[in-house]
Amino acid sequence: MKSVLLLLCVFIVCCLPADKKDKFTVVVFKHGKIAGDPEPFRKLLKKFEDENPGIVIRDEMLPASTDEQHQFYVINLEGKSSDFDVLSMDVIWVHEFARAGWLRDLTHMLSGEDRNDFFPGPMQAVTYNNRVYAIPWYIDAGLLYYRKDLLEKYGFSPPVTWEELIRIAQYIISREPGLYGFIWQGKQYEGLVCNVLEYLWGNGGDILRDGKVVIYSDENIHALRFIRDLIIKYKVTPPLVTTAIEESTRHIFGNGRALFMRNWPYAWNIFEKEGSPVKGMVGVTLLPSFSKGPSASTLGGWQLGVNKYSKHPEEAEKLVEFFALPESQKILAITLGYKPARRSLYSDKELIKEQPFIAGLYDVFMNARPRPLTPYYMMITQVTQPEFSAALSGIKTPEESLKAAQRQIDYILAAER
């Protein structure tokens, strides 16, 4: 028994905080993996430390998959952890975390001018019950990539409507053996919901409207059937998309094996790298629209918030403020290709010179819509992922799958209210 007690004492002593820094406040910043060279990011943190003597930043990397990052936050914040102060959040989490009471209200940090400068999509995503709980850090949205050289060769301009895309793709792939027409992300995962929503919105449909579940609608049935028809009727999309995620489509397109691709902006820098088989042959544009509707694009991207349980909220706010500055967002755009969440930067001469591609993204980001804004989004997506997948793989008709989704989402929202 004595030795057990002894062991216990040793254990407790080991668990005590080893060093207490009196002079410095340590702010812990949790974020995902930095794409590419981490050096510029470090430099930026150093710059902040130089400008704010007395604050030391410790940046800590989260697990690679976004699902695991979400799980990490939920477990720690549910346990009221104060081990980290600043957290980076996917656009779909802010409402959930705000509803759970885990985020510090940051409304006072944004002036009216700032609010106008951030893109409307991310602004909606960080606003819950008229209060702002996070600051947009960088932005993402679905785009249409196309092969400039092939369109020119056959005398087409980039498609504006889905009908045009089908016509062009059918024409060109019948003359270019081994070329896929149009690829996108159709595996059963969050990316599938991002893809499908673009068609639903483009056709005037939605999942939630004014807090009501409206997923079972004629517009949505039509749109979902159209996606399935891309594969089985028009045959411009190969069946392999039902296992495809961003990277698998990026590989196919990057090897010159596809004419059109739906993907996020990150792929562009990879295509333009030295040695890429498609360097200089790629163009991007808005996703096509249905003949009468607008083009719609799903919003992605990351936001910075402050942990409600943080022991140094003022210092944490300073760091968030620093990353919200146009200068900081510009540096990350130039060095890492992170797309700034601020509109004004898209007419910045220096940035456009470094990243010519960025000016063309302005319209895409203005158009980008957040996925259903509700604290229950994570539950809803667990319903829509398999139902959309069932419709694409032909296990259910679009009508059956949307009806099933409507019933399940209704149940979730009714039961948890």
Partner 1 sequence: MKKESGNRFIFPALLILFLVTVYPVFYVFYLSFHRRLLIFDISKFVGLDNYLFLLRDDRFWNALKNTVYFTSVSVSLELAIGLSIAVLLNRSFRFRGVTRAVVLIPWAVPTVVSARMWEWIYNTDFGILNYTLGAKINWLGSPFWAIHAAILMDVWKTTPFVAILLIAGLQVIPKELYMAAKVDGAGNWAIFRRITLPLLKPIILVVLLFRTLDAFRVFDAVYVLTGGGPANTTETLSIYAYKVLFQTLQFGYGSTLSVVVFLCIGSISVFYIKLLSKGIK
Instruction: Provide the 3-class DSSP secondary structure of residue 282.
Output: strand
Nearest distance, CB of residue 385 and partner 1, angstroms = 8
Burial status of residue 11 (CB atoms within 10 A of its CB: 0-12, 13-18, 19 or more)? exposed
The answer to whether residue 81 forms part of the interface with partner 1 (CB under 8 A) is no
Q: Which of 74, 109, 214, 270 binds partner 1 (CB under 8 A)?
A: 74
The Cα 226–Cα 196 span in angstroms is 10
The enclosing H or E element of 162 equals: helix 162-173
- Residues 6 or more apart from 84 whose CB is under 8 A from it? 28, 29, 30, 60, 76, 307, 310
Write the interaction track for partner 1 spanning residues 89-118; mark x where CB under 8 A is met and - where it is not. -------x--xx-x----------------
Burial status of residue 186 (CB atoms within 10 A of its CB: 0-12, 13-18, 19 or more)? buried
Q: Which of 60, 174, 218, 239 binds partner 1 (CB under 8 A)?
A: 239
Write the interaction track for partner 1 spanning residues 19-48; mark x where CB under 8 A is met and - where it is not. ------------------------------
190 vs 206, which CB is nearer to partner 1? 190
The answer to whether residue 64 forms part of the interface with partner 1 (CB under 8 A) is no
Nearest distance, CB of residue 16 and partner 1, angstroms = 23
Residue type, 316: A
Instruction: Provide the 3-class DSSP secondary structure of residue 296.
Output: coil
Nearest distance, CB of residue 3 and partner 1, angstroms = 10
Nearest distance, CB of residue 264 and partner 1, angstroms = 19
- Residues touching partner 1: how many (CB under 8 A)? 41
Q: Which of 142, 159, 238, 265 binds partner 1 (CB under 8 A)?
A: 238
Q: State both tokens at 148.
A: 């400039």
Q: Which residues share a beta bridge with 306?
A: 86
The Cα 390–Cα 66 span in angstroms is 23
192 vs 361, which CB is nearer to partner 1? 192
DSSP classification of residue 217: S
Nearest distance, CB of residue 287 and partner 1, angstroms = 22
The answer to whether residue 70 forms part of the interface with partner 1 (CB under 8 A) is yes
DSSP classification of residue 340: B
DSSP calls for 77-122: HHTT--S-SEEEEETTTHHHHHHHT-B---GGG--HHHHHHB-HHH
Nearest distance, CB of residue 6 and partner 1, angstroms = 13
100 vs 270, which CB is nearer to partner 1? 100
Write the interaction track for partner 1 spanning residues 274-303; mark x where CB under 8 A is met and - where it is not. ------------------------------
57 vs 258, which CB is nearer to partner 1? 258
5 vs 15, which CB is nearer to partner 1? 5
148 vs 257, which CB is nearer to partner 1? 257
Nearest distance, CB of residue 288 and partner 1, angstroms = 24
15 vs 415, which CB is nearer to partner 1? 415
DSSP classification of residue 207: S
- C-beta of residue 257 within 8 angstroms of C-beta of residue 251: no
Site residues (CB under 8 A) for partner 1, limited to 170-209? 186-189
- Residues 6 or more apart from 199 whose CB is under 8 A from it? 223, 224, 226, 227, 296
Give the C-alpha distances (Å, rounded to integers) separating 115 from 129, 205, 373. Answer: 16, 28, 18
Write the interaction track for partner 1 spanning residues 366-405; mark x where CB under 8 A is met and - where it is not. ---------x--xx--x--xxx-xx-xxxxx-------x-
Contact residues for partner 1, defined by CB under 8 A: 1, 4, 67, 70-71, 74, 78, 96, 99-100, 102, 186-189, 238-243, 248, 252, 257, 375, 378-379, 382, 385-387, 389-390, 392-396, 404, 415-416
